[in-house]
Amino acid sequence: MNVNDAPPVRFSPQAAITWRAVIIALLLIPPNCWFVLHGYFFGNSRPTTVSLIFNVAVTLFLLGLLNRLVARRFPGRQLHPGEMVTIYAMLSVSSALCGLDQVQTMMPVVAYPHHYATDENKWEQLFLRDTPGWLSPRDPETLKAYYDSHQSMFATTAWHGWLKPAGAWMAFVFALMVVMLCLNVLFRKQWTEEAKLSFPVVQLPLEMARENTPLYRNRLLWIGFGVAFFVDLMRGLHVMYPMVPDLWGERAANDLGTMVREPPWNAIGWTPLNVMPFGVGLAFLIPQDVAFSSWFFYVLWKFVRIGTVAAGWGDIPRAPWIDEQSFGAYIALAAFCLYASRHHLRHAILSGIGRGTGGLAREGGGSSWARPPMPQRGFDDSAEPLPYAWALYGLILGTTFLVIWCVAAGMTPFFALAFIIGYLLISVAVARIRAELGSPVHDLHKIGPEVILAESFGPPRVGKANLILFSYFWSLTRAHRSHPMPHQLESMKLAAETHTSQRGLSVALLIATVLGILLGWGFLLEMCHRYGGERIRWKGFEAFSRLDGWLRRSPEPNVYTIVTTLVGFAFTTFLAAMRARFAWWPFHPAGFAVSGSWSMALFAPSIFAAWLLKAVLLRYRGMTSYRPATFFFYGLILGEFVAGTGWGILGNWMQRPMYNFLP
């Protein structure tokens, strides 16, 4: 089942966004952002590492329970589905911006270089004198207060040194979010209404937002909830009191990589075998071919690692270049998205600039489209989050601002534009993966357009100024787990399903964006001042150690990077072509793209378990059993999410690590 199969929500078409919903969301955003940031800072929880942000899901779950009580006691005063969707959308976007791969990476990268420049590493002579003053705080007192004051940020005036760099980076992130919103507006109708993508990630939020939902009174839901909650309760108690048994065994002991010691088999590396209840629940919702492809290619990569060592190539840096091949796969997926949506995008753009050439008519199913016989006036964008003209000009102006920002920071126009385009292509691929396939993870770890550009051209040809900015952009490309673009798109899908005003939703999303950026920087700066920024400095170390290597070693273009990126692109193209030609073809290109990531190691056993359970269920009970069984897996998700949130809140209150079901 997908969200397109769910019972329709009974509410008036294009219901307006209410101030009541916006105010509730504004009240809930600060504690949710605080939970995300505080949990990361003290090692308790990382809610934004998976597609469905668990603190947001738990908030909606509790709000739904409260809403049922209000409906019984005060009929007519409960929140309607559009209001629930508005709250969920605003919480999702703001939490994503405070996430692990957003401000939690950006701030330690921005704070790092000047504080850790020493006479030994000679960073001042190597690159800092060529770095604009507004990219990072330079004042020693400001940096000392950030790293080692152990008092409130406002206890001294040292925080003034953060005004320029924080303002510059917040402006950059806001412009990037506007560009993503405009891209989503241009893709939304074709992906959600014409291609009818399934959006597995929002199946559970939609079910919780529905009016008269059977979710809360379903027995299977509470059975699944109880199983997952009990498992996490026992594991949490085991962390606090080791005498309490851990029923599923220690995580560290369940690593196949530590059990295999002889070469070349030890090249298998880190291979955890843990099955997480919520991971099984999320994976149960994704299509079978994607689930199969994800764990199959993950296992295949393990054999590739072993084969690389057996062939004597293990000493070559980065061999077998899994990250580079994954990057090529993401770029291929983005190219497919643009190609499949080309007719829609063409008509939307022409309509946006006032040159409507006629609507589109369906030629069958899927994403095949052609012009109708009779010309029409163009796309009707009255129900879109933004008029197509606004989206088009917002995309152009926003991208121009980003390029000018990069050029002002020292980059050349060519590399600035190449980086921005590369990053947006990855963003489109991530949004499409989430919309069509609902993969729990899409992190693309430690590989981005800056790595491909630097290694394809060679650092000397790229130039010092571009390499410096590439290092700062580690804050955007280290991983893509909490990428905000799919959260915008999924919010638009939920609005369409609940017949909520898309225009009003876009305003709500922009409000949440501004608040999420401000709270993310404000809360994290306060935590670093109060508890010491040393806790999260290691991401800055990663970024500028890489820059140090680029500048000192001056390597030539890396042929391996170029070739393997092209191999990843070509193999993904092959998988897509075979899938389009043969209905029986079992491998999905998106499964290949996400299979090589760090996070997939955590989720592959859960995905395999869900795939196997679903295959057995469909084989012996048929499709009629799928909808009822889904509630059990909803319960697995919610049970672990609620338990994990509870342990996270306790850990934040005690300021000590607790059990974390998302390592």
Task: Say if residue 358's pLDDT is above 80.
Answer: no
pLDDT band at 52 (very low <50, low <70, confident <90, very high): very high
Average pLDDT over residues 220-237: 94
pLDDT digits (tens, 9 = 90+) for 573-626: 999 999 989 989 999 999 999 999 888 998 999 999 999 999 999 999 888 888
Portion of the chain with pLDDT greater than 90, in percent: 71
Task: Say if residue 365's pLDDT is above 60.
Answer: no
Task: Say if residue 251's pLDDT is above 80.
Answer: no
Task: Say if residue 377's pLDDT is above 70.
Answer: no
Answer yes or no: are the C-beta atoms of 563 and 263 closer than 8 Å. no
DSSP for residue 359:
-
Task: Say if residue 523's pLDDT is above 50.
Answer: yes
pLDDT band at 381 (very low <50, low <70, confident <90, very high): confident
Hey, which of 39-43, 229-233, 398-402 has the most confident mean pLDDT? 398-402
Where is pLDDT greater, at 269 or 489? Answer: 489
Pull the structure tokens for residue 569.
Answer: 């692109």
Average pLDDT over residues 276-292: 93
The CA radius of gyration of the chain, in Å to the nearest whole number, is 25
Task: Say if residue 352's pLDDT is above 90.
Answer: no
pLDDT confidence of residue 359: 41
- Where residue 445 falls (left for φ over 0; alpha for ψ -120 to 50; beta otherwise) is beta
The 10 Å Cβ neighbour count of residue 368 is 12
The position carrying tokens 């989050």 is 385
pLDDT confidence of residue 250: 62
Q: List the domain boundaries for the chain.
A: 19-654
pLDDT band at 355 (very low <50, low <70, confident <90, very high): low
pLDDT confidence of residue 477: 93
Average pLDDT, rounded, for the chain = 89
Average pLDDT over residues 482-496: 95
Pull the structure tokens for residue 240.
Answer: 């606090």
Task: Say if residue 113's pLDDT is above 70.
Answer: yes
What crossing angle do the helices spanning 502-531 and 140-148 adopt, rounded to 10°?
90
- 277 alpha-carbon distance from chain centroid: 20
Of 349-363, 520-534, 576-590, the poorest mean pLDDT is in 349-363
pLDDT confidence of residue 5: 52
Average pLDDT over residues 451-464: 94
What's the rounded Cα separation, in Å, for the pair 281 and 296? 19
Average pLDDT over residues 627-644: 95
What's the rounded Cα separation, in Å, for the pair 24 and 17? 12
pLDDT band at 372 (very low <50, low <70, confident <90, very high): very low
Task: Say if residue 249's pLDDT is above 70.
Answer: no
264 preceded by cis ω (within 30°)?
A: yes
pLDDT confidence of residue 252: 55
pLDDT digits (tens, 9 = 90+) for 396-449: 999 999 999 999 999 999 999 999 999 999 999 999 999 988 888 888 888 999
Render the burial of 278-293: b for 16+ CB within 10 Å, e for the rest.
bbbbbbbbbbebbbbb
pLDDT confidence of residue 421: 97
pLDDT band at 10 (very low <50, low <70, confident <90, very high): very low
Pull the structure tokens for residue 412.
Answer: 């050349």
Return the half-sphere exposure (C-beta side, CA atoms, 13 A cut-off) of residue 454.
25
Where is pLDDT greater, at 264 or 374? Answer: 264
484 preceded by cis ω (within 30°)?
A: no
Task: Say if residue 279's pLDDT is above 70.
Answer: yes
CA angle 224/279/79 to nearest 5° reads: 65
What's the rounded Cα separation, in Å, for the pair 37 and 47? 10
